Amino acid sequence: MSDGSDASPPVARRSFMPVAIGARRGGLAVACALAVVGVAFVWQSALLDLGTIGLPGAGFFPLVLGVALVLFASAIALGHLRERTEGKPVEFGHLDVLIVFAAMLAIPPLFEPLGAYGTLGLFGAALLVLIAKTRIWLAVASAAIGMVMCWYFFEVLLGLQLPAGPWEGIFAG
């Protein structure tokens, strides 16, 4: 008779995400990615009018941001290169982060056809449903309240006109 002690333990299922890597290697990867984004900002801002310090043009702040991003990414990479050990493992690829990243990629193509308020409201509602696991009716109500507050802040208090999309007559200030 067997007492069940010879049964093998359950095998842990290896999932696709998140992936555990060493802190040093992960830090270097993130620093390189940030440096690439910074270089892209510098490159694209150089194609725009930079203006002057007193009257900055459209490319001035993206240029400053890109240079700062490259400098900070270089400092992070240098700090990780000086480390001798790999350090504790860190996890990359959390599902919530991937959901937010995918939702953010949907914002630019929807901004003109849906307008600022429709796009940002949809973004907020989607994140509330997919990440916070909020009920759909509560997410829609929360997003609607948030968009009314955005309209009031930008159009009434600041006097700025955001793209209204199909709601042109409703949000006309």
Strand partners, 92: 19
Q: Are 73 and 34 in contact (CB under 8 A)?
A: yes
How far, in Å, CA of 108 to CA of 162, rounded?
14
The 10s digit of each residue's pLDDT in 121-163 is 999 999 999 999 999 999 999 999 999 999 999 889 988 888 8
Domain boundaries, the chain: 16-93, 94-173
Mean local confidence (pLDDT), 165-172: 68
At 68 the pLDDT is 97
At 15 the pLDDT is 63
The 10s digit of each residue's pLDDT in 15-74 is 667 778 888 888 898 999 999 999 999 999 999 998 888 888 888 999 999 999 999 999
Q: Tell me: cis bond preceding 56? Omega within 30 of 0 counts.
A: no
At 121 the pLDDT is 95
At 85 the pLDDT is 80
Between 115 and 11, the more confident residue is 115
At 164 the pLDDT is 80
